Amino acid sequence: MTTAPPTPPDTDAAAFVAALRRLKAWSGLSYRRLERRAADAGHCLPYSTAATMLGRDRLPRAELVAAFVAACGVRGDMAQAWLDARTGIACGPAPALAPPAAAPAVIAVSAVAAPAAPAAPARVRPSRTRWALAGAAALVTVLLAGATASGALTDDEEVGVTRTSVRL
């Protein structure tokens, strides 16, 4: 490893994975050795996962990229560059900002320009956390309904004496 490691591209997922393959070749390590070095660095990178990741042209998860880059021996700013490139590819190109609109003309001296309303946010897909919470709530509801129907939440003790009972 006397030469500098390959730099991450920010074009597309296939080019990114190809650069990860070049990084593995640069490191000269086997998949099993990468697994051990990732564990030494505090990451989890099974050798089969690394092999599968490099065999596809899909963008790997960020934690896999971090583990793989650390296992290959890349640290500091260069490792962060790999994660930034991955994030850039995953999020797509930054939207071009429109130039600011011209200030509205004031017609009368007493007229005051109203502040511009904020742009409506783009529709955001519900996060996985929201779906996980909804699933957990449904599961708890089903479990409580089943427990109630089976009588698990009722007292099985027989009432011996009440105030309304008549003693014989």
Helices 13-27, 47-55: axis angle to 10 degrees equals 130
| pLDDT of the residue at 161 | 63
Residue 122 belongs to a domain? no
Residue 22 within any structural domain of the chain:
yes
In a domain, 167, yes or no: no
Task: State the virtual CA torsion across 24, 25, 29, 31 in degrees, nearest 10.
Answer: 50
> Quick one: DSSP state of residue 57?
S
Burial (CB count <10 Å: 0-12, 13-18, 19+), residue 130: exposed
Phi and psi (nearest 5°) for 103?
Answer: -65, 140
Which helix (H) or strand (E) covers residue 127, if one does?
Answer: none
State both tokens at 34: 């990468």
Q: Is residue 56 part of a domain?
A: yes
Report yes or no on 107 lying in a domain.
Answer: no
Tell me the mean pLDDT per 10 residues along the chain, length 168: 81 93 94 94 93 93 94 92 93 67 55 55 64 88 85 67 61
Q: What is the pLDDT of residue 129?
A: 80
Confirm whether 42 is domain-assigned: yes
Domain count, the chain: 1
Q: Is residue 87 part of a domain?
A: yes
- Is 114 a domain residue? no
Which domain range does residue 22 map to? 13-91
When computed from its CA atoms, the radius of gyration of the chain, rounded to whole angstroms, is: 30
